[in-house]
Structure 1
Amino acid sequence: MCFGNVADYDHYLIKPSKAVDKQLIIKEWDNVQRIMASLALKTTTQSTVVRKLSTVKKTNPTLKALIALDEIVMTDYILGYIDSLEDRRAVQKALNRGESYHQLSSAIAKTNGGKMINGKNEIELDINAECIRLTANIIIHHNATILSGLYQHYKALNPEKAKEIIRWSPVAWKFVNLIGNYEFYKKDKDLDIQEVIRLLIENSKSDFGLKSSSTD
């Protein structure tokens, strides 16, 4: 998208495909703002807006203005993504975290011969899926708590090590025995996570399997 004549960009490596209809956006700006305000104030939901816009004709001026505005935002984002190494790294980290989470969920699901992905009906399948998600989140929370404790410890004593810990991912499970039956209930005695952190620091084994998966 561009605000001028498309032909003016012929000498650029990255060329816009079409020009923005500025007058349409200006004309429909009040309607666009009302929709945005409703979403921001949570007086309506995205699904409701999408459903209503889906029922109007493609030639509807408000719909066309929203699409044009979205194309401007997307163009700005893509150009910023191309120019900014920091943005590209941030996106890659997010993709890596998402991929790691799916790998963890898959590892849990395949445990015990894949029993956790089986079910006789939709309700059982939903319960199994939620159990997989809960187990994955428990592992990540456990790891994140340990990493946070290690970071706080080394932040003053060894800043370089603290910086390295920031790069470690909490989505790691090599040290977890996933085989067995999972029972979710409150035990009489909770795991003393602070004691685990203390022992890791004492034994200088701060990787604890967590370093195996970096956020980069």
Structure 2
Amino acid sequence: MLKLHDFCNRAGKRIRSDIIAEQWDDVLRLVGSIKAGHVAPSVMLRKLAAYERQNQLDVALQEIGKIERTLFMLDWLENPDLRRRCHAGLNNSEQRHALTQAIYTFRQGRIIDRSHEAQKYRASGLNLVIAAIVYWNTIYMDAAAQHLRSTSVAVPDDLLAHTSPVGWEHIAFSGDFLWDRAAASNGRKALNLPPDSRVA
């Protein structure tokens, strides 16, 4: 039977297990500090990256990372359910990215402001618009499901779990976003139903 260590060495660069063994006590201390909340992972990564020469603890963590990636690869190959979940998450991320580009298309999906403050302001506004679209879609998807159920149409929850509120084909992105007018409006627009249907 092929051992994990041998698989790692054959699948990619050789695992430097000697460095992991040398730095194991420091690795455990680092993990204990992070779990106890004494240091944030981001702070520790910045400190390790700040050394002029590569720190041996940093090298050991990279080698452990190779092992973790190999374990994930094995799970990925053997577990179809894991592949489905990962693809679903990737599809959601790609859909949101596509929505971001659709909103920001007149600047080719790029934030070109020079100052950091202006970039943050622009990114915050973009996230607000995306959140408004997701909220709008969620409200109307729920209303549509409730309407279908009121007309005795089966809407299984397990199928609803595969729907996403990140669609935008029904939204016109040209023009201005009139937040005040939207806030002053009462109620919500009716569902777009066929002529022979009516909302319960």
Q: With the length of structure 1 as denominator, give the TM-score of the two structures.
A: 0.67
Q: Decide which moves more: 34-43 or 79-88.
A: 34-43
What CA deviation, in whole Å up to 9, does each residue of 1:98-138 have, x standing for no partner?
A: 1111111111112xx55996776424443223212210121
Alignment partner of 1:130 is 2:131: no
Letter in 2 for 1:134: L
Q: Find the counterpart in structure 1 of residue 102 from structure 2.
A: 107
Unaligned segments of structure 2, at least 5 residues: none
CA distance in 2: counterparts of 1:119 and 1:64, whole angstroms: 37
Q: Find the counterpart in structure 1 of residue 79 from structure 2.
A: 84
1:66-215 map, 5 Å = 66-110=61-105, 113-114=106-107, 121-122=114-115, 123-148=117-142, 161-185=156-180, 187-189=183-185, 191-192=187-188, 203=197
Q: Find the counterpart in structure 2 of residue 44 from structure 1.
A: 39
Q: Secondary structure at the match of 1:35?
A: helix
Cα RMSD (Å): 3.9
Letter in 2 for 1:51: R
2:54 to 45, 51, 58: 58
CA distance in 1: counterparts of 2:98 and 2:89, whole angstroms: 14
Contact kept? 1:143, 1:171, Cα under 8 Å: yes
Contact kept? 1:2, 1:19, Cα under 8 Å: no
Contact kept? 2:113, 2:119, Cα under 8 Å: yes
Contact kept? 1:3, 1:20, Cα under 8 Å: no
Structure 1 residues 132 and 19: alpha-carbon distance in aligned structure 2, compared to 1, 3 A threshold: closer
> Offset of 1:152 from its aligned partner?
7.2
CA distance in 2: counterparts of 1:40 and 1:153, whole angstroms: 48
Unaligned segments of structure 1, at least 5 residues: 206-216
Contact kept? 2:15, 2:66, Cα under 8 Å: no
Structure 1 residues 128 and 88: alpha-carbon distance in aligned structure 2, compared to 1, 3 A threshold: same
Q: With the length of structure 2 as denominator, give the TM-score of the two structures.
A: 0.71
Q: Across the two proteins, how many residue pairs are aligned to each other?
A: 191
Q: Secondary structure at the match of 1:187?
A: helix
Contact kept? 2:104, 2:110, Cα under 8 Å: yes
